[in-house]
Amino acid sequence: MFKKILIFCMLVCVLATTFCASMSNVSYAEGGPDISSKAACLVEYASGEILYAKQETKHLPIASMVKMMTILLTLEQIDHGALTEETLVTTSENASGMGGSQVFIDPYVQYSAGDLLKSVIIASANDASVALAEHISGSESAFVSKMNERAQQLGMSDTHYVNCTGLPAPEQYSCAKDCALILKEVAKYDIYHKYSTIWMDELLHPSGRKTELVNTNRLVRYYDGCDGGKTGSTNEAGCCLSASAKRNDMRLISVIIGAENSQTRFNECSKLFNYGFANYESKEIVGTENSLLSIAINKGKEADAPVFADEAFAIVAKKGEKSDIDVTYSLPEKINAPTRKGDVVGKAVLSRNGAVIKEIDLIVKMDIDALSLKDCFDKVVYGW
């Protein structure tokens, strides 16, 4: 046993050394990184703006990156209250018999939904994916219908799912742009990041045996700021990777499809991150923390109230460039009391070159009651 652990540790060290060495030798072609993989995409998270693209809408097999939709639907079930991490999922013989990457779940026993989700996120487990799909929809085929329906809702027009695992299927395809879009959705969930940042863990089976889990996305360990992603690898798809990394106030999503080997996908995904963080920055145009202006309150216990944007708006721009977004405010000079927290009092209008690109509600964040007869009398007396 000790000998096996020693060999495993030595293997990890070798991989780490090789990876770090290749990371320090990054070169860029004019206008962006030199990417040899079949398709690639670099997207800024907040704005959704594409910073680099290569064959980003080309229909390609993406192997286990299909599981990002399996993960998303599971997270949404938890978010809607239809599922919890403690929910017990009874496994089937079909799920336990899945080939490829797996955590060797037993059939006809119960695992927690949290453990199965963890196994999918960390170890890309096909058996855990099917177990979740069968529990949520009754069968994998019914779950796949939900996957395609959700893809259409998200605007993933270049994606079609056939299974929930990414195992080879002739009619299953996606593209780099759609892979970035779905990771953008998944990255919204704290539960996802709770598991996606784990490098090594274990799954305890009901029988008492344990399966070691090692994160298939090496960037969470070796790339500064990377906190999530999904790998994929089959003969037809090549080596694929979608990953998310955040530095300072900017999060980037990097997608590689069809790399010639595993090391290339990590190198080229890192190249995209390096290019984005070196050349771009996120600029907040409208924030929600500080008041933008104030509005007079007619017949209120307060004379005026600070006004805030109901949502933030940021753009991504090349470093050193000034923003070309103009912000104007549309609201009355005064409003009548009472006001309540969250009341909409106007709009912030954002435009570029005279064209409106977004409107944001302006709200008050405090309750202000109307003056009573006694308040009016006191006000006159104190004024006198």
pLDDT at 199 over 50: yes
Average pLDDT, the chain: 90
- What CATH number does residue 239 fall under? 3.40.710.10
Q: Is residue 344 part of a domain?
A: yes
Active-site positions read 64, 67, 124
241 and 298 belong to one structural domain: no
pLDDT digits (tens, 9 = 90+) for 130-160: 999 999 999 999 999 999 999 999 999 999 9
**Minimum mean pLDDT range among 32-36, 63-67, 207-211, 314-318:** 314-318
β-bridge mates for residue 313, sequence order? 286
Residue bearing the bigger pLDDT, 8 or 285 = 285
β-bridge mates for residue 307, sequence order? 293, 364
Q: Is residue 20 part of a domain?
A: no
Residue bearing the bigger pLDDT, 222 or 32 = 222
pLDDT band at 382 (very low <50, low <70, confident <90, very high): low
Q: Is residue 193 part of a domain?
A: yes
Which pLDDT does position 17 carry in this prediction?
39
Q: Is residue 60 part of a domain?
A: yes
Q: Which pairing describes strands 250-259 and 325-330: parallel, antiparallel, or unpaired?
A: unpaired
pLDDT digits (tens, 9 = 90+) for 40-57: 999 999 889 999 999 999
271 and 307 belong to one structural domain: no
pLDDT band at 381 (very low <50, low <70, confident <90, very high): low
Q: Which pairing describes strands 293-298 and 334-336: parallel, antiparallel, or unpaired?
A: parallel
pLDDT at 14 over 50: no
State percent of the chain over pLDDT 70. Answer: 89
Q: Residue 350 has which token pair?
A: 């954002």
Cα 87 from Cα 76, distance rounded (Å): 14
pLDDT band at 266 (very low <50, low <70, confident <90, very high): very high
366 and 221 belong to one structural domain: no
Question: Of 253, 280, 307, which one is at a domain's C-terminal end?
Answer: 280
Cα 293 from Cα 343, distance rounded (Å): 15
pLDDT at 20 over 70: no
Identify the H or E element spanning 315.
Answer: strand 313-318
pLDDT band at 246 (very low <50, low <70, confident <90, very high): very high
pLDDT at 373 over 80: no
Which pLDDT does position 116 carry in this prediction?
98
pLDDT digits (tens, 9 = 90+) for 302-358: 999 999 999 999 889 899 888 889 999 999 999 999 999 999 999 999 999 999 999
CA-based nearest residue to 162, from 150, 172, 152, 147: 172
Q: Is residue 159 part of a domain?
A: yes
261 and 154 belong to one structural domain: yes
Q: How many CB atoms lie within 10 A of CB 23?
A: 17
CA-based nearest residue to 63, from 146, 173, 156: 173
Question: Of 280, 309, 339, which one is at a domain's C-terminal end?
Answer: 280
pLDDT at 211 over 80: yes
Q: Which domain covers residue 332, as residue numbers?
A: 287-373
Task: For residue 90, report the phi and psi dihedrals to the nearest 5 degrees.
Answer: -85, 125
Q: Residue 59 has which token pair?
A: 């229909």
Q: Is there a contact between 162 and 102 (Cβ–Cβ < 8 Å)?
A: no
Question: Of 262, 280, 298, which one is at a domain's C-terminal end?
Answer: 280
Residue bearing the bigger pLDDT, 21 or 236 = 236
Which pLDDT does position 4 carry in this prediction?
41
147 and 245 belong to one structural domain: yes
56-79 burial: b if 16+ Cβ within 10 Å, else e: bebebbbbbbbbbbbbbbbbbbbe
pTM, two decimal places = 0.82
Q: Is residue 379 part of a domain?
A: no
Residue bearing the bigger pLDDT, 63 or 323 = 63
Q: Is residue 21 part of a domain?
A: no
- What CATH number does residue 302 fall under? 2.60.410.10
311 and 261 belong to one structural domain: no
Q: Is residue 126 part of a domain?
A: yes
Ramachandran area for residue 168 (φ above 0: left; ψ -120 to 50: alpha; else beta): beta
Q: Looking at the 3D structure of the chain, how many domains does it have? A: 2
Q: In Å, what is the CA distance from 67 to each residue of 107, 128, 174, 241, 261?
A: 21, 11, 12, 12, 20
Which pLDDT does position 32 carry in this prediction?
83
216 and 69 belong to one structural domain: yes
156 and 197 belong to one structural domain: yes
pLDDT at 170 over 90: yes
45 and 176 belong to one structural domain: yes
Q: Is there a contact between 223 and 254 (Cβ–Cβ < 8 Å)?
A: no
pLDDT digits (tens, 9 = 90+) for 85-133: 999 999 999 999 998 999 999 999 999 999 999 999 999 999 999 999 9
265 and 307 belong to one structural domain: no
Mean pLDDT along residues 264-273: 98
113 and 164 belong to one structural domain: yes
Tell me the three state secondary structure of residue 384: coil
Helices (H), the chain: 2-23, 67-79, 93-96, 113-123, 126-137, 140-153, 176-186, 190-196, 219-222, 262-279, 373-383
CA-based nearest residue to 130, from 163, 85, 153: 163
Q: Is there a contact between 335 and 298 (Cβ–Cβ < 8 Å)?
A: yes
pLDDT band at 7 (very low <50, low <70, confident <90, very high): very low
237 and 261 belong to one structural domain: yes
pLDDT at 30 over 50: no
Distance, CA of 129 to chain centre: 19
Cα 268 from Cα 251, distance rounded (Å): 17
